[in-house]
Amino acid sequence: MLPCSFFILPDSNITYVYWSYIPRSSRTKVYSWVQGKVFVDDSPYVGRVSMDDTFTLAITQTTLQDARVFVCQVGAGSLGVGENRTELRVYKAPEPPEIHANEAGISVGTRESQEIAECVVRNSFPGPNITWLKDGHRLHPEDDKVKIMDTRTQEASGLFTARSRLLAHVPRQDRHAYFQCQAHYLLAGGDRQAQSPKVQVHIFYPTENVSLAIDAPRPQVKEGDHVALRCQGDGNPPPEYSFFRVQNNTATGEEEEQELSGKADKGVLSLGKVHKENTGHYRCKGLDLDTMETLTADAELVVNYIEGLKVTKESPEPVLEGHNLTLTCEARGSRPLAFHWHKDKKGKALGSGQQLQLSNIMREAAGNYICEVTMPGVQGLSRNKQVLVVVYGKPQVSVEKPGVPVQENELVTLTCTALAQPEPSITWSANGTVQNRTENYSVVSNLTVQVTSKLMRSGINCTATNYLGVVTHHVHLERRMTPTTPTTTAPAGNATAEQKPQESKGVIIVAVIVCILVLAVLGAVLYFLHKKGKIPCGRTGKQDITKPDARKDEVVVEVKSDKLPEEAGLLQATNGDQKPAGDQGEKYIDLRH
């Protein structure tokens, strides 16, 4: 946008406006306005220029060739002609800087300066400038230490491409340094900058030191750990490595090197899972192929171990109940050891030290005793060994039930368990079918026998025997109650009882029901006789309802009521005449008719 700046009196009229450019000395019109009419002149700007109401000229699709002087001329009739000039400048930002490090590398020992990297900045207008940075700090040309060689080329498009080469003597300390270039260019509004990515240069230098380290999971190596020897030199390229085990010749007193077989990958030699035999003095050698100098480094490997673990019992065999027992744990190791005792795999801790004292042993103390040996300061190194302690004693006998409810002639099965070492034998005082089995140092015996009256009187004995003693347990056979339930048959006029075995609660319930039924039958009989007129009502304690002189073939039945007042009331109620309990007495029933 090129503005046309001018001043004119308020009452004056503008007759024309011409826009021209000056390629050299002459002018070339590009746009004209004459008394309200627009004319686009034949020029390279046809189709790319336009003008608004303020006579500002707009140019589109700007190129580098548009960088020239434009003239705005304004005519105002009798007031004369005025013009102003505008210089159009065109800027083009470059592409991001490209940096290419020296892939061949640089040797520290070379006296001449060597190229570190080249920087290229393309397609900029006007042409850019290039500077260099090392670890963020600008480099300046410095005699023979740092050289910067710049070139600039204008392409056919009119844009510029700049190139810069950095040459320098690089010391060993620069092996970790980062280099980058920076482009400086102009844009409307001021100076701009663009930086390239950072690069490192391969620097070759001789080996000055070699170190040997032990690669292990932990500082204190134990048997079974994966261990490797790591040899490292500080040269680039690294030296050739070889590994040796060093031993002293007892005869000559001199060192002897035994080269270790195996491929050392990048200075690492794996020893695999180590054992105590791997303990010793190791050496690494590094050969610098440039200087042909050999450097060495040594290291000591100590493999910690525990061996010779055993547990002994210091008492006569077998161990008897009530006796004492001493367990002793022995082991050897590369360092001082710690001893711990516990019973079974997940049992509680019993103590520490090489000996475990067990006093007044009971059969519950039988089982596996474990001695665990650890090496303080060596993580993960432990060994354990267990010993079985068997306690001998006379049998312990138990039965499922000391009293068994039975009925005569039925088959019952009794169970007797005997716990002891040595294993006991079980006998029964009754003849029957016996089945024995062994479970966890105990014998379980099942006796199946038919119940007789003799067995119910005497009971049955279970006897367990071993050479340390005899123990007998008595099983009492209890008679099981069998309640009776009355049933009636109308035609026959007699009653039969069906016996069924019941539990104690069932027996009580049946007895109550039977009593109620008997009372109901008796009440019905009395009520029936009363209706027939056989029983007169009265309040006397005793009434004679028979004739004074009874015949010998006549039967008189005396019924005495021992019922509670409530039951008496029920009987009276059946007669329709209730009487107090105090009026109840002896009654005579005439059964002659």
pTM of the model: 0.56
**Which of 523 and 210 is assigned the larger pLDDT?**
210
Res 118: pLDDT: 96
Q: How far lies 244's CA from each of 181, 251, 283, 284, 465, in Å? A: 48, 20, 5, 6, 71
pLDDT exceeds cutoff 60 at 548: no
User: Of 430, 435, 429, which is closest to residue 417 (Cα–Cα)?
Assistant: 435
- How many residues are recorded in the chain? 593
Q: pLDDT band at residue 534, thresholds of 50, 70 and 90?
A: low
Res 122: pLDDT: 95
DSSP state of 234: S
- Could you identify the residue written with the tokens 């900058």? 193
Q: Report, as an integer, the average pLDDT of 225-234.
A: 95
Residue ranges and CATH numbers for the domains of the chain are 16-87 (2.60.40.10), 98-204 (2.60.40.10), 210-304 (2.60.40.10), 306-392 (2.60.40.10), 396-479 (2.60.40.10), 505-590 (no CATH)
DSSP state of 174: G
Res 554: pLDDT: 31
Contact between 307 and 331 (Cβ < 8 Å): yes
pLDDT exceeds cutoff 80 at 240: yes
**Least confident span in 71-75, 216-220, 442-446, 564-568:** 564-568
Res 201: pLDDT: 92
Strand (E) or helix (H) holding 510: helix 504-531
Res 333: pLDDT: 96
Res 498: pLDDT: 35
Q: Report, as an integer, the average pLDDT of 64-89.
A: 85
Helix intervals (H) in 280-344 = none
DSSP per position, 454-480: HHHHH-EEEEEEETTEEEEEEEEEEEP
CB burial of residue 172 (10 Å; 0-12, 13-18, 19+): middle
Residue 177 in tokens: 């340094």
Residue 391 in tokens: 């306690």
Contact between 153 and 161 (Cβ < 8 Å): yes
Q: pLDDT band at residue 383, thresholds of 50, 70 and 90?
A: very high
Contact between 126 and 160 (Cβ < 8 Å): yes
Residue 43 in tokens: 């020029």
Residue 458 in tokens: 């005497």
Res 400: pLDDT: 77
Q: Report, as an integer, the average pLDDT of 233-243.
A: 92
Contact between 373 and 384 (Cβ < 8 Å): yes
236, β-bridge pairs: 205
Q: pLDDT band at residue 492, thresholds of 50, 70 and 90?
A: very low
* Chain Cα centroid distance, residue 461: 58
Res 134: pLDDT: 94
User: Of 170, 162, 195, which is closest to residue 181 (Cα–Cα)?
Assistant: 195
Strand (E) or helix (H) holding 453: helix 453-458
pLDDT exceeds cutoff 80 at 567: no
Residue 85 in tokens: 């000039």
Helix intervals (H) in 44-142 = none
Residue range 158-177, pLDDT digits in tens: 899 999 999 998 888 888 99
Residue 397 in tokens: 């006998």
Work out whether strand 129-134 and strand 221-222 pair parallel, antiparallel, or are unpaired. unpaired
pLDDT exceeds cutoff 90 at 227: yes
Strand (E) or helix (H) holding 417: strand 411-419
Whole-angstrom distance, CA of residue 39 vs CA of residue 18: 9
Q: Report, as an integer, the average pLDDT of 137-155.
A: 90
Contact between 424 and 498 (Cβ < 8 Å): no
Res 331: pLDDT: 96
pLDDT exceeds cutoff 70 at 101: yes
Whole-angstrom distance, CA of residue 104 vs CA of residue 329: 67
Q: How far lies 456's CA from each of 218, 430, 459, 483, in Å? A: 76, 11, 6, 19
pLDDT exceeds cutoff 90 at 526: no
Q: pLDDT band at residue 507, thresholds of 50, 70 and 90?
A: low
Res 540: pLDDT: 40
Q: 50 in helix, strand or coil?
A: strand
**Least confident span in 62-71, 407-416, 417-426, 545-554:** 545-554
Q: Which amino acid is at 411?
A: L
Among the ranges 108-112, 189-193, 262-266, 434-438, which has the highest mean pLDDT value? Answer: 434-438
Residue 361 in tokens: 């042993």
Whole-angstrom distance, CA of residue 466 vs CA of residue 463: 10
Q: E-assigned strands of 88-128? A: 98-101, 106-107, 114-124
69, β-bridge pairs: 22, 87
Res 32: pLDDT: 87
Q: pLDDT band at residue 484, thresholds of 50, 70 and 90?
A: low
Res 6: pLDDT: 79
Q: At what angle do helices 504-531 and 565-573 cross, to 10 degrees?
A: 40
DSSP state of 329: E
**Least confident span in 49-53, 219-223, 249-253, 419-423:** 249-253
161, β-bridge pairs: 153
HEC profile of 561-589: CCCCHHHHHHHHHCCCCCCCHHHCCCEEE
Q: Omega into 318 within 30° of 0, i.e. cis?
A: yes
| List of residues 6+ apart from 529 with CB closer than 8 A | 535, 589
Alpha carbon dihedral 139, 142, 144, 146, in 10-degree steps, equals 10
pLDDT exceeds cutoff 50 at 591: no
Whole-angstrom distance, CA of residue 338 vs CA of residue 23: 102
Q: pLDDT band at residue 316, thresholds of 50, 70 and 90?
A: low
Residue 149 in tokens: 């060689």
Whole-angstrom distance, CA of residue 22 vs CA of residue 87: 10
| % residues pLDDT > 90 (the chain) | 44
- Could you identify the residue written with the tokens 């008796």? 522
* Mean pLDDT value across the chain: 82
Residue range 76-88, pLDDT digits in tens: 887 888 888 888 8
